[in-house]
Amino acid sequence: MPPTIPALDALRETLPDDLKDLRLNAQTVLSSEVLEPDQALGTALAAALFVRSRPLADALAADIRAALGDGAAAVIADATAAAGLMAMNTVYFRFRHMVAHGREGKESYASRPARLRMGRMAQPATSKTTFEMMSLGCAALAGCEACIQSHEASLVHLGASEDACHDAVRIAAVMAGVACGLDAFAERGS
């Protein structure tokens, strides 16, 4: 059963008709047939936090609290952790990958240890699969090839289907579009 999302529904209804596609997508993308509600909503919240959309993140957090009850705190905490860690990781690993595999091919960068703490990825508050879904969504938003490949492979190894990975990225993409639309609409003052 798809999660109820009254706060997101109210927010998406503020989008103008020019953004009707985003209004509709924001409603339907969370009705994944392969993701659990905590995975879908958590990925949406991680994406909203990753693109720094406070109104969208606040609406999603309210919906998570309403839909998930006692499990809400863990989902919100992991979404926050995933967004923050992926903000760090996508910069670092994208740099390392681009320099190591770029025109000059400086492989020495690929062999250097990251020395960045990422313990939460190994011990999430929800589940490893849910945290990886959130991380994959953020990696896709950053366009970090190395991170996308790593998190997709981890999810498949954990037993997630390619459809589940696909849905996580679709959710992140739509949340990025809604965040952009909300910002553009607010700037227009309409």
Structure tokens at 9: 């529904």
Contact (CB, 8 A) for 38 and 163? no
The total number of residues written for the chain in this structure? 190
Torsion (CA) 90, 160, 35, 92 in degrees, nearest 10: 0
Confidence of residue 1 (pLDDT cuts 50, 70, 90): low
16-27+36-188: CATH, from 3.90.440.10, 3.40.50.1580, 3.20.20.70, 1.20.1290.10? 1.20.1290.10
* Residue in the block written with tokens 């969370």: 30
Nearest to 46 by CA among 179, 138, 128: 138
- Which amino acids are annotated catalytic? 144, 147
**pTM for this entry:** 0.94
What does the pLDDT average to over 130-147? 97
Q: What are the extents of the domains in the chain?
A: 16-27+36-188
Spatial contact of 103 and 136, defined as CB atoms under 8 Å apart? no
Higher pLDDT, 113 or 174: 174
